[in-house]
Amino acid sequence: MEEPEAWWSEHGEGELGYSSLLEQLAPTAAARQGLLASYFEPTSEDRERGTKLPSKAHLAIAQLVKQGHVKVIVTTNFDRLMEQALESVGVAPQVISRPEAVNGMAPLTHASATVIKLHGDYKDLGSKNTPTELESYPEQWNALLHQVFSDYGLIISGWSAEWDTALVTALEAASRRYPLYWDSRSSRGESASRLLVNRDGRVLQFEGADELFTDLAASIEALQGLSESPLTTAMAISRLKRSLLDPTRRIELYDLVMGAADRVADAIRAEPLSAGQEVNEAFMESLYERHLASAGSLLPLLITGLWHDTDGTHDQLWLDVLQRLVDAGTTPVNSATQVVAAARLIPAHLALATMGVAAAARGRESLFIRAATTIEGRTQMGHGEAVPSAQLLHANHVFASGLIKVMPRWGDTRWVYPISHLLLTDLRVFFADFIRLDADFVAAFHGYEYRIGLIQSQLAIDGYGYSPADGEYVGERGWSFASDRKPLAEITFVREASRRADWPWPEYLGGPDGLEKVLEAHRELLRSYSRSR
């Protein structure tokens, strides 16, 4: 039928909709049961096509129930897809599909999960479908709904509140103790808008249940993988220290460090690729903090290893860590929000910055040059050219500077070099046990910024896109007061040449004869950065 609405207006009764159509096709409960069974029970062909099976939303909700984040599911559907999804993850729910069952049910707080099927089960002759049947609920339903809506927060998806007047009434009668969230697609109607206002609800910018609940499940999974107790981290550091100098523990050391790197990689992969909401400064802050937290158990191990592995015995391990994070941040994807896709490289950026600070403070120069130039990843969400990490992890590529500058954490303060200040502030905590004085840490961090800038300059000459990143090290306080003003980071950098016979920078920058020309050219570039502010 090409124009069902026109046919219905001529032959049907009332407004065309699911309930009115079903009432006309099957006027009795028994007739409806027989009609609906064919739509809900999958055939072998349906199973092969993946139809009439639990959706992404069902499976995501089931995972949330299994993890203890969701206790009660209220549904107006009378299929059994939610029960099937729960059973697939090993959860046997308490299912209440008839009001008479309320009195004999286990208390909600004691049951592992409770599915309340307000309209019944499709195999139950008492299922409710028509507008007349949905005008009111029996007292058992009303009492149970009052408890649920008063004692639990609510996430609503796929229900418009336009047809089920009894459920609307139950929501309006409940207290507003806990929050209410509603997906943007089904909350557009007049009744939904009224409920949102009355219950101080919030609209979530998701167009359906699949997107909402898979995003929620992924976000919670990422957060669970981020937190590790200080005791666990301290124990891991203790094990690392014992393993560093013991040749018989190389495999144990590798497993310890790479295990931490793998957990960060898992958290990166668990992050949703679509923002699902407005990409603003609050979203950017939350996204950054999740990635920072995911790296929180790895960075102390990396710093400890870099600090004590002074002869470079385990350099390949530290490079492997960076490569693992780069690989996780450049896993090929075909569709993603650009800010979210780029932010997958935040943990790798933090690891490279950690190596740079160690290079400046601990003389790990050769390792840092190798990390910045030999570790590679593909651009364009994993589909483009493989480029060195100094360019791939360039601050202007990984971070949205405009959003970083106005993140809520800053209040009304606006930093001139927001990304630089952000990293300096947050990495300081991880180096507290190794660099005691704030001034010394600032010098080491500026030393990292200067070094990565030199490498980015060389790579830009070789045809890579980004010029050196700016940072607080090029601000007005970052220059000497001599007549030929030089960056303080450059002065400290050159001083290291007289202290280390194996200083690798002249060779990397074109030999001793060309070093001064490179530094001079770089100095002029940094001077232009400073003056442009």
**Residue of 141, 139, 85 lying closest to 113 (CA atoms):** 85
244 within 8 A of 306, measured Cβ to Cβ: no
d(CA 405, CA 390): 22
Residues 6+ apart with CB under 8 A from 446: 360, 471, 472, 473, 478, 488, 489
Report the SS3 class of residue 160: coil
CA distance 143 to 104: 14
Q: How far is Cα 40 from Cα 279, in angstroms, rounded to an integer?
A: 39
Distance CA 504, CA 235 (A): 35
- Under 8 Å between Cβ of 385 and 378: yes
Per-residue pLDDT at 30: 54
Lookup: tokens for 477: 């306080």
* Helix/strand/coil for 96: strand
Q: CA triplet 426, 429, 430: central angle to 5 degrees?
A: 100
The DSSP annotation for 119-153 comes to: T--TTSTT---STTTTS---HHHHHHHHHHHHHS-
Taking the C-alpha atoms of residue 82 and residue 113, their distance in angstroms, rounded to an integer, is 11
Residue 75: its H or E element:
strand 72-75
Q: Which two tokens stand for residue 448?
A: 């990292």
Low-confidence ranges of the chain (pLDDT < 50): 1, 125
CATH number belonging to domain 52-210? 3.40.50
CA distance 9 to 436: 79
**Rg of the Cα trace of the chain?**
30
Say if residues 117 and 141 touch (Cβ distance below 8 Å).
no
DSSP symbol at 99: G
- In the chain, where does the domain assigned CATH 3.40.50 lie? 52-210
Quick one: tokens of 288? Answer: 């950054």
Looking at residue 429, its pLDDT comes to 95
SS3 95: strand
- Hunting for tokens 């990689």 — which residue is that? 265
Please answer whether residues 282 and 316 qualify as being in contact, where contact means their C-beta atoms are separated by less than 8 angstroms.
no
303, 371 Cβ separation under 8 angstroms: no
Query: What does the pLDDT read at residue 265?
Result: 96
pLDDT in the model for residue 436: 95
**CA neighbor of 419 nearest in space, from 237, 283, 231, 288:** 288
CA proximity to 327, closest of 376, 293, 271: 376
Instruction: Give the pLDDT confidence score for residue 471 in this predicted structure.
Output: 94
pLDDT of residue 533: 52
Stated pTM of the model: 0.61
Distance CA 517, CA 525 (A): 13
Query: In the 8-state DSSP scheme, what is residue 479?
Result: B
SS3 473: helix
- 454: amino acid identity, one letter: L
In sequence order, the 6+-apart residues with CB closer than 8 A to the CB of 129 are 18, 19, 22, 23, 32, 78, 119
Contacts of 493 (CB under 8 A, 6+ apart): 447, 450, 451, 505
Residues 6+ apart with CB under 8 A from 197: none
Residue 203 β-bridge partners = 182
Q: Beta-carbon neighbour count of residue 519 at 10 Å?
A: 18
